[in-house]
Structure 1
Amino acid sequence: MELKRALLLLALFLEFSDSHKCDIGHDRRNNSCIDTDECVMIPDVCGAHAQCFNTHGSYYCTCNEGFQSKTANFTAITGECEDINECFMNTHGCSDDKVCMNTVGSYECRCRNGYRLTRTDAGCEDINECINPDVCGRNAQCNNTFGSYTCKCDQGYSNYGNNQSECIEMSCDLFESDAESPGKLKNLLELLRSSCESLHGPDGHGLTGEQLLENVFTTTDELLLDGKIAGGEMLSQFLDAVENSMRLIGPQLREPVTRMETHNTFAEVAVARNQTPPSGHVTLSAGSAHFETSWETVVGKSYPGFAFVALVGYKDLNTSGLLHNVNSEKPDDEERSVTYQLNSEVVTAVVSNTETKHLSEPVTLVFTHVEDRAESGGVAYSCVYWNEYEGAWSNEGCVRAESNSTHTVCSCSHLSSFAVLMALYPLQDSFELVLITRVGLVLSLVCLFLCILTFKFCRSIKGTRTSIHLHLSICLFIADLVFLCGISSTQNKVGCGIVAGLLHFFFLSAFCWMLLEGVQLYRMVVLVFHTTLKHLYMCLVGYGVPLVIVIISAISFSKGYGTDRHCWLSLDGSFIWSFFAPVCIIVILNSFVFIITVWKLAEKFASLNPDLSKLRNIRGFTVTAVAQMCVLGGMWVFGCFLFQEEGTQVALYLFTILNSLQGALIFFMHCLLSKPVREEYCKLITRICSRKEKKYSEFSTNQSSNSQQPLRSNQTTGESKI
């Protein structure tokens, strides 16, 4: 429309500028100026709902009846017409018993809801809705009113305050309490029963839905906070009470969507009230869980005039109960050692449809994990619901549609209380890892035995460091031997605990002797002390400190020695830190000692050998650093990944290789690389070889004399002995 007007102005301007022979709104024809009919030249120049009138040299527009100009200055250029809302401006002619309904360019007078036109169209008359016998159902009495109607339910039936809905049967016996139920749960059930009975008749009235919901959540908060929900039977009573309360409260809520959050409970309820059943999808959220279904599933086969869907979540309901009917792909022997735990909040899904055991289409629940863990060989997720008949979690009818480290999507064909169950399966050590461990330990045992003999009987290397190496080798020898023979002896709980205690003691003792070696290195290199540590003090540190730690640990948590998978310290309650805490302290202290020692040695080497090349210094110090760090326990940095449910495979293999070969490393560094020890080995080998040669020479000499003796002649007789 604006484009047409612009073209018209352009044509008029060009016409006017053509030698200025004709005025605007005129066209030159046959050497004379003739008026231009703009209404014919440009159709709809005035827009919709308007009429165009030509004038001499111009035109004007007028709006049709029922329309008015959008602008105050209604001209040929800017004028457009819009509908007049007679109902809003109160310019209609409808009577008081009718309602004005605006239309385009006009209006209509219609009867109000609950009324209809009389046969003579003279006015409106009331509609008697009670003529329809199904308007209130069979269990109610219909009372017609002017423009409306009400349904009064029979005794034992209720429409939950929806006076124009069908009445359905109620059973307040659902809110009966058990004699063994907690007092607060009994009080809640009595409150719900009282509210139910108040709706149990035509004139019933009581607390509003919002008030009931608040009271219910206050009681559930107290029950969860006190920890009264324990055991399968008690959990079933609690979840039944919540589900039945939502069936009582949901239809009484006034708002289409009601949300409520307390200290331990979330809830979101959606309510629909229409003459026709609602349709489409509905999504609810409660805490870290999401619930999605369709209104068709919520309504079911019958629609009384209202429908509701509710999702309730519990923050501190962390009981796993007993496990039944949880399908597993693991063998029976592994299944017996599987541990289960809930890895999501528990939620209860309730709909107005009472037939929820076999839904026409499955519902979807999305759970956020409490602990972020991805599925692996040792972790599996299951979508479960609380089976009140068996008093346990079950996955029957629930399928895990999708899962990652943070979320699990469940698809269930029935409604109940749901959660995500995390199964922790015992990880089996790989054949390569077991082979490396056994071969390395056997080699270390042989090398440690040679170290013990060397440090004990080699007189040329006697001293404080040799004594430390001797006790270190003894502790590692016993620890490796116990580890090799008893680490997997989990069948006997007592024996497994003893094995774990011995490993705890001797590995800690080995670290204490490593600490003493670091102290001795510091005294020799940094302090330049020539005095030696007393043997009694070293034994008190090397054996006394680990003994005290083991005794305190055994007294405080004796069940921590031995697990279902290994005869080692339990991971429950951070008990493993009774070993790792002293280890970390010793490793840190020895690391400082090592750095200071290397620094001082570098200064001494630089002063003694000023012409030594930097490359050789760096290479020598690097080799010494790696070897010394291994001896002082640096390899145990990777020990944190051992016995874990999940760990870095690279770190696990590094720890296994380095720790199993620790005895071989000690033998290599302190025996084979020691010149005095090599000399002693050479002397020992020389003695052994010389003794063999002496025995061989004596044997050869005897054989020669014996073989020559019969050939000798008798000097007296001149005859041979033969």
Structure 2
Amino acid sequence: MGSRTLLLVLGLHFTLLGNIEARDCSLGFIAKGRQCDDIDECKEWDSNPPCGSNATCYNTQGSFYCHCLPGFRSTTSLKFTPFAGECKDLNECLENPPVCGSNTICINTIGSFNCQCQPGFRVTYAGHCADEDECVWVPPVCGALGMCTNTAGRYTCTCPPGLSNHGNNTAPCTDIDECNEIAGICGVGGDCQNQKGSYSCLCHPGYSNYDNKQAQCSVLTCDQFKANETPGQTVPGLAGLLSLMRNSCLALSNSGDAAGGRLTGEVLLENVFTEMDGLLSHAILNNSREVSGLLGTVEDAMRFIGPQLRDTHTTMETDHTGNTHTHTTMETDHTATELAVRRGQTPPTGPISLANDNARLDTSWETATGNGTYPGFTLAGLVCYKTVERSVNNSFQYLTDTVTNRDTATATASKPSYQISSKVVTAFVSNPATDHLTQPVILTFKHLQVRAESMEMNYTCVFWSEGRVHEEGGAWSRHGCTKVTSNATHTVCSCSHLSSFAVLMALYPVQNTFELRLLTWLGLSLSVVCLLLCILTFWLCRSIQGTRTTIHLHLCVCLFIADLVFLSGISHTQSKGGCGFVAGLLHLFFLGSFSWMLLEGVQLYRMVVLVFNTTIRPLYLHAVGYGLPLTIVIISAITYPDGYGTTQHCWLSLERGFIWSFFGPVCTIIILNTFFFIITVWRLAQKFSSLNPDLSNLRKIK
């Protein structure tokens, strides 16, 4: 631009010199004759335009100016002369607002620009750039089994288990050969077969992965379902359940991966609970050994059946990790069961909550899986027994009292008795090491009876312990279980191990004060003296001898002996044998007292109804008065010898309804005597009515 300006100036200079003589014209004009004409600078140098190639030249009177072409911009003003500026290329891609719009790429050129759509966008008919859905391309961009997710301008590929795109989320998903990449993926007892996007483990006989083809094959043992052949050790009624489980286990063990006529998990579960209902409906759990056998067998059966459950009678879900979740609920007349199973290549995580009408289990999948080898599935279950609490309501001998809000002396003097206050439940998981859990499980129990909140109740969380008391078969223990909270309806327990659980309620006996004991001694002592006087009177007075006197005499004798035994031995519980003997004597002579009262009623009835010949032979009197009570005592002692004597008093036990060996005969005698009394009053009213017809009904009754 500088050289052109110099030539222009020189040209004007020589032109003016050549016309000096003609005319003196201003810059930008030329003399023609005697006048000055305008010079068109824009045409004078067509080969070398004064404004350059990036501008348009415009002539004016005595001068000219330059105007930049589209796509160029002057460094000064819009109109300029070559001395004042020049035209440079305009970068439209830097303009604001953008010249190309959204989702585009701007490319600058000399004097212009180009607009192109960004990758992942395409030009529409309207000339705009719109998102292109790569997920509908054929062939699929993520492969046949990959999952494509379209986003604005791009896409991502998510590979299912068994496929991979090796960290490139826009690359197609290709198969992973797990059999070669993961050593020992099927365990020592299985053969691996690779498949498109997956693999299968074929188990050898004696091994099983419970039909979970992606799980390792583990050794399958069936010894836990073998009936104990030691005499006296077999639980009656449990043989059918054990036989069912053992046959199913052996069928699975011998068949390897072949179905081989095996029962499905769902059918086997139904059969197990049918056997349990039959067993529990007959109430054959007579001791703690039988309870231990049932609870242990049910837990082993649930561990065996759980991994075999599929979709029948179940709710199936799949989480974000690809694990399959099977939840099974089954309820019968005697049980309620909740089972949850997770299957997958990775151990599941998160909370577990299993509940029924009587109990709730809260734990985690991490606890259920454990720290050992992950077998490809995780199991958690809760079984509630609706009637078993009646069979385990006396196995408290291994509990030690927890002193709560009581001083030591009072607690020592008043050792509590216990009773089951909830249904018995069994909580179990697939993790075999549950003796010492790092994270305790939470169990919530519903009380069998709603107690008023104002009443003082001491609830205890316990589990059924077998090994600790092997010789007895099992008993309740509080080791490892603590009470979190308790109200009138529910108790929440925290336990560091898994087993069968329940809630016990401690019943503190009423303390006998000194005044009450003194009153008892004085009253009974006075009664003994009076009874002795009556015995002497009925025995020695010849003038009053007869059937009624004999009955009165022996009634007083029974009461006299019973009171003496009560005073001398009711509280002597140190010797179990001596205490049982005292309880037997009290049972005999108190029943004898009521037997002689029955004979008194019979004699009164005979005197009123028969009037004549009312004498009863002494042999018959003694047979009823002493023979009947003695028979009841002998039968009771043979049936339940431990029922005589308790830890607190030398009297009949309340367990197993043994107290009814006394209450039953007493209630019967009271009912019979009431009947005799009513007949006697009715006959007397008739006699008075015949003697004096003018008496009113009220006076007759009086």
Q: TM-score, normalised by structure 2?
A: 0.54
Q: 2:497 aligns with which of 414, 430, 433?
A: 414
Matches within 5 A, 1:84-483: 95=138, 97=140, 126-128=172-174, 130=176, 139=185, 148-150=197-199, 152=201, 161-162=211-212, 167-168=215-216, 170-173=218-221, 180=228, 185=242, 188-189=245-246, 191-192=248-249, 194-195=251-252, 204-206=257-259, 211-215=264-268, 218=271, 222=275, 230=289, 238=297, 241-242=300-301, 244-246=303-305, 248-249=307-308, 255=316, 256-261=326-331, 266-272=336-342, 280-285=350-355, 288-300=358-370, 307-313=378-384, 326-329=399-402, 346-367=424-445, 381-388=460-467, 391=470, 392-393=474-475, 394-402=477-485, 408-420=491-503, 429-453=512-536, 469-483=552-566
Q: Distance in 1 between matches of 2:168 and 2:402?
A: 78
- Check 1:596–1:258 CA distance in 2 against 1; reply closer, same or farther (3 A cut): closer
- String of CA shifts for 1:479-502, please: whole Å, max 9, x gaps: 323332343455666665665555
Q: Distance in 2 between matches of 1:173 and 1:157?
A: 9
Structure with the higher fraction of residues in helix conformation: 1
Match of 1:32 in 2: none
Contact 1:250 1:269 survives alignment (8 Å) = no
Deviates more, 1:388-397 or 1:108-117: 108-117
Match of 1:53 in 2: none
Matches within 5 A, 1:579-618: 579-591=662-674
Q: Distance in 2 between matches of 1:557 and 1:196?
A: 50
Q: Distance in 1 between matches of 2:545 and 2:469?
A: 72
Q: Distance in 2 between matches of 1:135 and 1:505?
A: 83
Shift of 1:397: 1.5
- String of CA shifts for 1:619-640, please: whole Å, max 9, x gaps: x97xxxxxxxxxxxxxxxxxxx
Give 5+ residue unaligned stretches, structure 1.
1-91, 622-722
1:546 aligns with 2:625: yes
- Structure 2 counterpart of 1:242, one-letter code: A
Q: Distance in 2 between matches of 1:266 and 1:230?
A: 23
Shift of 1:441: 0.8
- Check 1:186–1:611 CA distance in 2 against 1; reply closer, same or farther (3 A cut): closer
Contact 2:208 2:252 survives alignment (8 Å) = no
Contact 1:309 1:351 survives alignment (8 Å) = yes
Shift of 1:520: 6.2
Query: 2:361 is paired with a residue of what secondary structure?
Result: strand
Matches within 5 A, 1:675-694: none
Deviates more, 1:228-237 or 1:281-290: 228-237
Q: Distance in 1 between matches of 2:659 and 2:166?
A: 89
Q: Distance in 2 between matches of 1:276 and 1:447?
A: 86
Higher relative contact order (CA 8 A, sep 6+): 1
Q: Distance in 2 between matches of 1:259 and 1:590?
A: 55
Q: TM-score, normalised by structure 1?
A: 0.53
Q: Distance in 1 between matches of 2:167 and 2:439?
A: 48
Give 5+ residue unaligned stretches, structure 2.
1-134, 317-325
- Structure 1 counterpart of 2:632, one-letter code: S
Q: Distance in 2 between matches of 1:244 and 1:97?
A: 44
Q: Distance in 2 between matches of 1:301 and 1:569?
A: 52
- String of CA shifts for 1:232-254, please: whole Å, max 9, x gaps: 99568636633641464369998
Shift of 1:398: 1.8
Query: 2:435 is paired with a residue of what secondary structure?
Result: coil
Query: 1:449 is paired with a residue of what secondary structure?
Result: helix
The percentage of aligned residue pairs carrying the same residue is: 38
- Structure 2 counterpart of 1:310, one-letter code: G
Q: Distance in 1 between matches of 2:273 and 2:515?
A: 53
- Structure 2 counterpart of 1:397, one-letter code: G
Q: 1:556 aligns with which of 629, 635, 654?
A: 635
Query: 1:414 is paired with a residue of what secondary structure?
Result: coil
Contact 2:208 2:253 survives alignment (8 Å) = no
Contact 1:368 1:406 survives alignment (8 Å) = yes
- Check 1:378–1:180 CA distance in 2 against 1; reply closer, same or farther (3 A cut): same
Bigger Rg, structure 1 or 2:
2
- Check 1:541–1:581 CA distance in 2 against 1; reply closer, same or farther (3 A cut): farther
Query: 1:437 is paired with a residue of what secondary structure?
Result: helix
Query: 2:176 is paired with a residue of what secondary structure?
Result: helix
Match of 1:60 in 2: none
Query: 2:463 is paired with a residue of what secondary structure?
Result: strand
Q: How many residues align?
A: 512
Deviates more, 1:234-243 or 1:581-590: 234-243
